[in-house]
Structure 1
Amino acid sequence: MITVENLTKSFPGKGSPVLALREVNLEISAGALYGVVGPARSGKSTLAKVVALQEKPDRGTVRLDGLNTAGLDGRRLREVRRQVAVLGTAPSLHAERTVAGNVAAPLEQLGVDGPQRRSRVGRVLDLAGLTQRAAQHPGELTEGQRRRVALARAVATGPAVLLADDPTAGLAAEEAGTVLTVLDRARAELGVTVVLTSQDPAVARRVCDEVALLDSGRVVEHGSLLDLLALPGSQTADALLPAIDTPRAQSAAYDRAADVVLIGFAAVGALLPEAATRFDVELSTIGGGLTRVGDTPVARFRVGVRGRQADAVLAWIGDHGAHVTHLAGGPRSIAA
């Protein structure tokens, strides 16, 4: 587990220091794929560097599996740093070495013997989908493939934590998706805890279990991604769920109007039709849409309801796992 307690970090600026992190508190479970998202200069990369023990905070503590890293130095600091691998946005590869040679480089530095080294290289190349590229050189690869080589190199030594700092920046959608798939496989197959930073919240939607949203060095919200998507007023939900742009007049034409978030196959596929049949109402989807969070379908719809039991049907939908936000609507509607 990674525990970040009251973390503050500043850098020299013109006249006064620039605060990059402000009292950041987070807990990242072992084996998680944790997303840290936010706009440029929100503090994501600084947080990654502090957790990787590449930067010292002004105040606060980073604990790795309960170990307070604040007082580490010398040999002990180097030992702990080896447990935290870092994958940057523009990783540097050795142009003269093959793909396999690049991945083997950190193992050579650690003195891992030949047979064990070849075994590890083969395993992580397979995980990264690069077995067929082992004998090629970086110059023969696409940018996405080079990032996967760097990712394979980062996990070859068996770190406990992998910090991936904006690893899909500048990549086309297909190559970005492949990099994210490899990060997910590293977590699942190697047991490494992955902390992924990105300016694009959609990256977190594809692979992350939990997420923290940073802005101006502060944690705006954090928690389970699916929980945040169901939270009224969540900035994460606004960024990731389908937009609703239904005109007010269209909503007002119904007895009741509400925004409904449905999570999971059963809720998305059957809850609204079952509710309409059970309460004998007209229930129409008048805005929103469907997306996926990892493998889980998630919908945000605006629904309009006509019928005597309009209030009752919305209450029933909320009681059966959906998240309902009532809107001012037709002549009998109320704000709730």
Structure 2
Amino acid sequence: MITVENVSKSFPFHGNRVAALRDVSVDVQAGSLFGVVGPSGSGKSTLARCIALQERPDRGVVRLDGLNTATLDGKRLREIRRQLGVVGTKPELIAERTIAGNIASPLEQLGVDGPQRRSRVGSLLDLVGLTARAAQKPEELTDGQLRRVAVAKALAAGPAVLLADDPTAGVAAEEAGAVLAVLDRARAELGVTVVVTTPDADVVRRVCDDVAVLDNGAIVERGTVLDLISTPDSWTAQAVLPSIETSRAQSAKYDRSVDVVLIGFASVGALLPEAASRFDVELATIGGGLTRIGDTPIARFRLGVRGERADAALSWISDRGAHVSQPVRGPQSVVAA
């Protein structure tokens, strides 16, 4: 488990100190895939470097499984750093070496013998889906493939934690999914705790269990992704849920309209039809759509509601885990007829 306690960090700039992190506290559960998300300059990379023990906080503590890393130096610090794999925004690969050779280089530095080294490299090539590319050089691979090689190299020494700083930066959209899938496989198959920094909410939607949202160096939101999307005005909900646009003419056909967030197979597939039948009301989808958070289906719909027992139907839906709210009227939620 990673515990960040009240961490602050600043850097010199033109004779002054500029705060990169302001009293940041987060808990990263062992074996989770944790997202640190926010705009450029929000402090994401600085937090990742503090967790990776590449930067020391000005104040506060980073604990790894309860160990206060501020007390470490010399040999002990180097030992703990080997438990932390780091993937930067630019893969650090040796151009003259093959893909297999690049992945093997950390094992060579540790003195791992040939048979063990080859076995480990083979397993990692399979993990990242690049076995067929083992003998190629970095210049022959795409940006997405290079990022996957960098992940394999960072995993070579068997770290307990993998930190990936903006892993899809500069990667074509059609390849980004493969990079994220590799991070998810590292967590699922190797038991590695993965911390991802990103400005991209789609990364959060696709692979993260938990998230901390940073803005101007401070945590403005944190929790599980599924909990946060249940709050419609949260950053996470606004960023990852389907947008809603309806015309006034559509809404005017019904007694009123409401927004509803449904989480899970049962809710998305059956809750609204069952409520409509049970209470003899009309619940018509007039906006929104479907998405997935990891493997979990999620819906955000705007419903046109008609019927005498509408309040009872909406209460029944809410009691079964859906989040029901009145739509916010404005240019982002209602378009002209």
Is the structural similarity TM-score above 0.5?
yes
Kindly provide the amino acid, as one letter, of the partner of residue 288 in structure 1: G
Matches of residues 5-84 of structure 1 in structure 2 within 5 Å?
5-84=5-84
**What does residue 136 of structure 2 align with?**
136
**What does residue 121 of structure 2 align with?**
121
**What does residue 222 of structure 2 align with?**
222
Matches of residues 244-263 of structure 1 in structure 2 within 5 Å?
244-248=244-248, 250-263=250-263
Report the secondary structure of 1:232's partner residue: coil
Report the secondary structure of 2:71's partner residue: coil
Deviation at 1:253, TM superposition (A): 4.2
**What does residue 264 of structure 1 align with?**
264
* Aligned-partner Cα distance in 2 for 1:286–1:202: 24
Deviation at 1:232, TM superposition (A): 3.4
* Aligned-partner Cα distance in 2 for 1:327–1:130: 47
8 Å Cα contact 1:6/1:25 also seen in 2: yes
**What does residue 190 of structure 1 align with?**
190
Judging changes above 3 Å, is the alpha-carbon distance between structure 1 residues 318 and 105 closer, same or farther for their aligned structure 2 residues? same
Kindly provide the amino acid, as one letter, of the partner of residue 284 in structure 2: S
CA RMSD in angstroms comes to: 1.3
Report the secondary structure of 1:31's partner residue: coil
* Aligned-partner Cα distance in 2 for 1:66–1:221: 24
Deviation at 1:130, TM superposition (A): 0.9
Report the secondary structure of 1:147's partner residue: helix
8 Å Cα contact 1:88/1:167 also seen in 2: yes
8 Å Cα contact 1:252/1:328 also seen in 2: no
Q: Once the two structures are superposed, what CA deviation does each residue of 1:122-146 show, in whole Å capped at 9, x if it has no partner?
A: 1111101011111111111111111
* Aligned-partner Cα distance in 2 for 1:132–1:190: 22
Kindly provide the amino acid, as one letter, of the partner of residue 268 in structure 1: V
Q: Relative to structure 2, which stretch is displaced further, 240-249 or 176-185?
A: 240-249
8 Å Cα contact 2:98/2:135 also seen in 1: yes
* Aligned-partner Cα distance in 2 for 1:226–1:22: 26
**What does residue 170 of structure 2 align with?**
170
**What does residue 153 of structure 1 align with?**
153
8 Å Cα contact 1:257/1:328 also seen in 2: no
**What does residue 316 of structure 2 align with?**
316
% identical aligned pairs: 72
* Aligned-partner Cα distance in 1 for 2:70–2:56: 8
* Aligned-partner Cα distance in 2 for 1:270–1:89: 43
* Aligned-partner Cα distance in 2 for 1:23–1:281: 50
* Aligned-partner Cα distance in 2 for 1:77–1:176: 33
Report the secondary structure of 1:45's partner residue: helix
Report the secondary structure of 2:244's partner residue: coil
* Aligned-partner Cα distance in 1 for 2:230–2:123: 39
Kindly provide the amino acid, as one letter, of the partner of residue 34 in structure 2: Y
* Aligned-partner Cα distance in 2 for 1:247–1:17: 50
Judging changes above 3 Å, is the alpha-carbon distance between structure 1 residues 325 and 94 closer, same or farther for their aligned structure 2 residues? same
Deviation at 1:250, TM superposition (A): 3.8
* Aligned-partner Cα distance in 1 for 2:233–2:142: 40
Q: Once the two structures are superposed, what CA deviation does each residue of 1:241-265 show, in whole Å capped at 9, x if it has no partner?
A: 0111224564354223211000011
Please list every run of 5 or more consecutive structure 1 residues that lacks an aligned counterpart in the other structure.
Answer: 330-336
8 Å Cα contact 2:98/2:134 also seen in 1: yes
8 Å Cα contact 2:232/2:238 also seen in 1: no
Deviation at 1:226, TM superposition (A): 0.6
Report the secondary structure of 1:12's partner residue: strand
8 Å Cα contact 1:283/1:303 also seen in 2: yes
Report the secondary structure of 2:227's partner residue: helix
8 Å Cα contact 2:37/2:213 also seen in 1: yes
* Aligned-partner Cα distance in 2 for 1:30–1:230: 24
Question: Scaled by the length of structure 1, what TM-score is found?
Answer: 0.95
**What does residue 205 of structure 1 align with?**
205
Question: Scaled by the length of structure 2, what TM-score is found?
Answer: 0.95
* Aligned-partner Cα distance in 1 for 2:223–2:6: 17
Matches of residues 71-110 of structure 1 in structure 2 within 5 Å?
71-110=71-110
